Structure 1
Amino acid sequence: MLAAFSITPIGAGESVGDQVAAAVRVIRDSGLPHRTAASFTEIEGDWDEVMGVIKAATDAVLAVSDRCSIVIKADIRPGRTNTLNTKVESIERRLGEQPSGP
């Protein structure tokens, strides 16, 4: 399973960097393949592993914030691994095959 998710602390003020860092720390410590970007984190593993990390990251945010909102998008494709990288590589390969234009 490949999941893209965002945990947003609510009521913590305009800057939520400390709360988000608490969640990212849990994700990094999980040992699962992941990539954190400006608005979402992608993580890959089996269902129970991924959902467990998302719950633990949520719990870390709730330990320093009274409320949070979670958005999760999942791509479940049994038998596939390393989709965190191979999906991007597939697009990059296709872009490299296209003519560069006029």
Structure 2
Amino acid sequence: MLVAFSLTPMGVETVVADYIADAVRVIRDSGLPNRSDSMYTMIEGEWDEVMDVIKRATEAVAAKAPRVQLIVKADIWPEMHTPLDGKIALLEQRIADTTQVSSPPTS
């Protein structure tokens, strides 16, 4: 299972990096494969372990913020064993296959 989620502390100053840093520490300390970017964090694992990490990350933000907004999107694909990297590898392979087919022959 791959889950993308976003935590937004509400009722705080404009820059929220200090709040989110606490959540990212929880996620990284979990040992589950994860990746964060400027908008979302993705985490890979079994349902219960991923949801537990999301809950603890949310609680870390809630410990400092009066309100927290959580957005969660899950991809449940049992045959994909490493979705964090596997989905991107599959996409890159499709792009390469399409590029090879559509490229004009060289002379």
What TM-score does the superposition give when structure 2 sets the normalisation length?
Answer: 0.89
- Residue identity (%): 51
Cα drift, residue 93 of structure 1: 1.2
Q: CA deviation at 1:22?
A: 0.6
**SS of the residue 1:95 aligns to:** helix
Secondary structure of the corresponding residue to residue 13 of structure 1: coil
Unpaired runs of 5+ residues, structure 1, are none
How many residues align? The count is 102
Residue of structure 1 equivalent to 2:30: 30
Counterparts of 2:68 and 2:103, CA distance in 1: 46
| Contact 2:32 2:43 (C-alpha < 8 Å) held by counterparts | yes
- Is 1:18 matched up with 2:18? yes
Q: Is structure 2 residue 74 aligned with structure 1 residue 74?
A: yes
Structure 2 SS opposite 1:72: strand
Aligned in 2, Cα 1:94/1:79: closer, same or farther, shift over 3 Å?
A: closer
How far apart in 2 are the matches of 1:20 and 1:101?
45
CA deviation profile, 1:72-100 (whole Å, cap 9, x unmatched): 00011235321110100111111122237
Distance 1:6 1:67 in 2: 14
Distance, in Å, in 2 between the alignment partners of 1:53 and 1:4 is: 12
Task: Pick the structure with greater CA Rg.
Answer: 2
Q: How far apart are the structure 1 equivalents of 2:22 and 2:45?
A: 21
Under a length normalisation based on structure 1, what TM-score does the superposition of the two structures give?
0.93
- When the two chains are superposed, the root-mean-square deviation of aligned CA atoms in Å is 1.5
